[in-house]
Amino acid sequence: MRLPRIAVLPLLLLGLPPAASASPTTDVAPKPPTLADVLAQSSAADWRRPEPEDTLYLDLPGGRVVIELAPAFAPAHVANIRALAKEHYWDGLAILRSQENYVVQWGDPAAGTPEARAFKQARRRLPAEFARAADGLAFVALADGDVYAPQVGWSGGFPAARDPATGMAWMAHCYAAVGAGRDNAADSSNGAELYVVIGHAPRHLDRNITLVGRVLQGMEILSVLPRGSGALGFHETAEQRVPIASLRLASDVPEKDRVDLEVFRTDTPAFARLVEARRHRREEWFIDPVGKVELCNVPIPVRVAAAGKS
Amino acid sequence: MRLPRIAVLPLLLLGLPPAASASPTTDVAPKPPTLADVLAQSSAADWRRPEPEDTLYLDLPGGRVVIELAPAFAPAHVANIRALAKEHYWDGLAILRSQENYVVQWGDPAAGTPEARAFKQARRRLPAEFARAADGLAFVALADGDVYAPQVGWSGGFPAARDPATGMAWMAHCYAAVGAGRDNAADSSNGAELYVVIGHAPRHLDRNITLVGRVLQGMEILSVLPRGSGALGFHETAEQRVPIASLRLASDVPEKDRVDLEVFRTDTPAFARLVEARRHRREEWFIDPVGKVELCNVPIPVRVAAAGKS
C-alpha cells in the first residue's frame, strides 16, 4: 500500500549532529542520529519520572488523561488543585466546553449559582500566577526566535518563555498546555475550572492566564470530543457534557493503579540533539531541510516505563 | 453561571484603530472597533464568494466539509482534483488516517495495489508545486515576523509566505490547510490523497509538499475523527475508516444544493483592522494586550451569505 509519509514525528526522524554547521565535514563523519537513535541511545539520566504529587489522572469514559503539574510556575494554583483532587471535587462533574481549534474545559456547570459544589479545604480565591521571576529558574533557550516572546525554551520540562528586560518567565500556550480558567478579574481563577489547548497554540493567552501544567498522555481522548454548540464551544445541555469519573493525584492512587510514565528531560545534551533533529529535517522525505523550528513544534517525548523498573 | 471567558474569537473582540500608535489621542477619539464592529461595518466589497469551480464539497457521515482550492498556487494539482471530482473518484473511498495533533487524510486504501481504483481523465503524475514565483501574486504582508519564513501574510485569501531573496512564494501550513500527500519523490503526488491540518501548524511542511487550498467550513467534522491506531495515525481495518459519501465541485452540484459562503477578503482596509484587533487585545478580559500576532492565529472569517443575495 502506498503510504504518503507526510508525518514523521515518531518513526522517521533523521537529524544533524548537535554542532552541525556549514564547515566541511569528512567522509568519516558519523551519520547524524535520528530521533529514534537519540531515544535509543539515551540513558536513564535522560529521562525523569514526574512526581506523583505533581501528576493528575483525569478519568473519562474515553480513558485516562495524565497531566503533569508545574508548581515552579503556579505554586498556589497547584496547591489548590491538589486540595480539590483530594476532596474529590471534580468527581461527577463534567467537561463543559469543547471549542474547535482552541480548548476543552471542565468544571462545575453550576459554578456561581446556589447549586454550586462546595469547596472543603480548597481556597476560593488565589493570586494570579501569569508569570514569575526568571531568577532561580533553570531555562534552556531555543535559538530559533519567536513571534510572541523575546526568548523561548524549556524550564523543568515545560515549554516556556522569558523576557530579559523584565526578568520574568512564564509557561507557553502550546498544544496540550493546561490552564486555570478565569473571569475578567486577574485573580478570579482558583483551579476548579481547567482547560487544555487542543488547537493551534493560542500564544496570546500567555501572561494573561495561569497555566498549571501540561498533558503527558491522553490528548487524543480530549481532542476528539464533539464541539459544543453554544457560544465559545460550551455545551448547552447536560446530556452533551462528558462526565468526569474521577480526577486524582497519582500519589492518592494505589501504586498498582498508576501509569508509570517517563518524560524526556529538556536540559540534557540528548534533548539538544532532539531539537537539532527537528530543526534540520534530513529525513529522506524532506526536500527542503527547513532549518528552523518553532517552540510548539518540538516534541517532548513521553514513554511508559519498562516493567520492573523501580 | 460563571463563564470563564478564555476564548474570545467570535464574540468579544475589541481592537485598536488601524493606525494605533504611541502618540497622544484626544478624548474624542472614536472607540476602537471590535471584530464584530469590523464585520458589521463591512461592505459587500469586503467579502468575496469563492468560485464554484474552486470549491469542493466533501460529504461525510458527520456532515459537509467545504474546501476552497488555490489554483494560483497549485494549478496542476487543482486541475487534477477537479478532474478526479468529476470522475467521482473519491465516492465510496474513505478517510484513511487521523493523526493526533497533525492531519486527517483521505484517499484509496488500495492505492498502489492491483485493486486500486482507476483514474479516468485525471493524470497519474504531476509536477511538484511546493512554491511559485512571487511575481504576479498579490501579497498582503503581516508585520509581526515569523519563525519559518522571511515574510508571511496573505495571498488570494490564503495564509502564505515569501522569500524576497529567492523571489518565491508558497502557502503556509496553518490549521485547516489542505494538501496533497506524496511519497518520497517530490513529484509523487497527484491530488488523489488529500490531507487537512488538524493540529498545531506543521510549518516544517511548507515548501516540502503541495498545498492545494484550505477548509472554509466543517473543520469540526474532521478534527474530532477518532485517531487511527496504526503508525502515523493510519487506520488498520476497513471498519475504522470513515467512508466518503461524495466529493464534488460546487459547480457540479445543483445550485439549490450548494452552500452559499462568503469569505472575508484579506486585501482590504477592513482586514487590516481585523489583524490589528487580533494583534492588540484590548478586550476587557485581557490583562496583557499582547501586541503581536502570528500568521496562523489570524482568523479569516467565513459566513453563510444572506438569503436572497445573488
Provide, as residue numbers in chain A, all residues whose Cβ is less than 8 Å from the Cβ of B101. Answer: 175-176, 219, 223
| The residue type at A286 | F
Taken in order B172, B175, B178, B182, the sign of the CA dihedral is positive
Closest listed residue to residue A186, CA positions, set A203, A161, A210: A210
Mean pLDDT of A204-217: 98
Residue A308: count of CB within 10 angstroms of its CB = 5
Provide the pLDDT for residue B29.
59
Residue B117: count of CB within 10 angstroms of its CB = 18
Provide φ and ψ at A167, rounded to 5°.
75, 20
HEC assignment per residue over chain B: CCCCCCCCCCCCCCCCCCCCCCCCCCCCCCCCCCHHHHHHCCCHHHEECCCHHHEEEEEECCEEEEEEECCCCCHHHHHHHHHHHHCCCCCCCEEEEECCCCEEEEECCCCCCCCCCCCCCCCCCCCCCCCEECCCCCCEEECCCCCCCCEEEEECCEEEEEECCCCEEEECCCCCEEEECCCCCCCCCCCCCEEEECCCCCHHHCCCCEEEEEEEECHHHHCCCCCCCCHHHECCCHHHCEECCEEEEHHHCCHHHCCCEEEECCCCHHHHHHHHHHHECCCCCCCCCECCCCHHHCCCCEEECCCCCC
Residue A31 pLDDT > 90, yes or no?
no
Longest CA–CA separation in chain A, Å:
74
- pLDDT-derived band at A298, boundaries 50, 70, 90: very high
Better pLDDT: A5 or A82: A82
Residue A30: count of CB within 10 angstroms of its CB = 7
pLDDT tens track for B92-124: 999 999 999 999 999 999 999 999 999 999 999
Residue A259 pLDDT > 90, yes or no?
yes
Contact A231 B11 (CB under 8 A): yes
Residues in chain A: 310
Mutate to test the interface with B, among A9, A125, A204, A281 (most CBs of B within 10 A): A204
Grid cell 515576523 is found at B145
Grid cell 474515553 is found at A62
Contact B101 A175 (CB under 8 A): yes
Query: What are the distances in angstroms from CA B181 to CA A285, B128, B130, B178, B207?
Result: 11, 11, 12, 10, 13
B228, B97 Cβ separation under 8 angstroms: yes
3-class secondary-structure state, position A101 = coil
Q: What's the distance, CA A189 to chain centroid?
A: 19
Please tell me the distance from the alpha carbon of residue A262 to that of residue A39, in angstroms, as a whole number: 12
Contact B183 A2 (CB under 8 A): yes
Q: Which of A1, A6, A293 sits opposite B195 (nearest CB)?
A: A6
Better pLDDT: A290 or A308: A290
Find the helix or strand (DSSP H, E) in which A142 lies: strand A140-142
Nearest chain B CA: its distance from A225 CA (Å): 6
Query: What are the distances in angstroms from CA A255 to CA A84, A303, A310?
Result: 21, 18, 11
Contact A100 B219 (CB under 8 A): yes
CA nearest to A10 within chain B: B232
Q: How many CA atoms lie within 13 A of B204 on its CB side?
A: 26
Contact A200 B203 (CB under 8 A): no
CA nearest to B1 within chain A: A112
Provide the pLDDT for residue B4.
42
A87, A248 Cβ separation under 8 angstroms: no
Please tell me the distance from the alpha carbon of residue A291 to that of residue B56, in angstroms, as a whole number: 34
3-class secondary-structure state, position A10 = coil
B155, B179 Cβ separation under 8 angstroms: no
Burial letters for B153-178: b for 16+ Cβ neighbours within 10 Å, e otherwise?
A: bbbbbbbbbbeeeeebbbbbbbbbbb
Nearest chain A CA: its distance from B130 CA (Å): 10
Please tell me the distance from the alpha carbon of residue B18 to that of residue B32, in angstroms, as a whole number: 9
Whole-structure pTM value: 0.91
Beta bridge partners of B99: none
Q: What's the distance, CA B169 to chain centroid?
A: 16
pLDDT tens track for B243-284: 999 999 999 999 999 999 999 999 999 999 999 999 998 788
Least confident of A233-242, A277-286, B171-180: A277-286
A89, A110 Cβ separation under 8 angstroms: no
Going by the DSSP 8-state scheme, the letter that residue A16 receives in this structure is -
pLDDT < 50 positions in chain B: 1-26, 309-310
| The residue type at A89 | Y
| The residue type at A22 | A
Contact B288 A208 (CB under 8 A): yes
Please tell me the distance from the alpha carbon of residue A171 to that of residue A89, in angstroms, as a whole number: 26
3-class secondary-structure state, position A220 = helix
A176, A215 Cβ separation under 8 angstroms: yes
Nearest chain B CA: its distance from A105 CA (Å): 9
Q: Which of A112, A195, A220 sits opposite B6 (nearest CB)?
A: A195
Q: Which of B4, B9, B205 sits opposite A182 (nearest CB)?
A: B4
Provide the pLDDT for residue B2.
39
Q: Which of A231, A232, A294 sits opposite B147 (nearest CB)?
A: A294
Contact B297 A101 (CB under 8 A): no
Q: Chain A to chain B, count of Cβ pairs less than 8 Å apart?
A: 193
Contact B3 A99 (CB under 8 A): no
Contact B1 A109 (CB under 8 A): yes
Provide the pLDDT for residue A24.
40
Provide, as residue numbers in chain B, all residues whose Cβ is less than 8 Å from the Cβ of A13. Answer: none
Residue A21 pLDDT > 50, yes or no?
no
Cell of A219: 490528548
Mutate to test the interface with A, among B204, B224, B225 (most CBs of A within 10 A): B204
Q: How many CA atoms lie within 13 A of A270 on its CB side?
A: 19
Provide, as residue numbers in chain A, all residues whose Cβ is less than 8 Å from the Cβ of B207. Answer: 287-288
Closest listed residue to residue B192, CA positions, set B68, B97, B108: B108
Contact B101 A292 (CB under 8 A): no
Provide the pLDDT for residue A37.
83
Residues in chain B: 310
pLDDT tens track for A55-108: 999 999 999 999 999 999 999 999 999 999 999 999 999 999 999 999 999 999
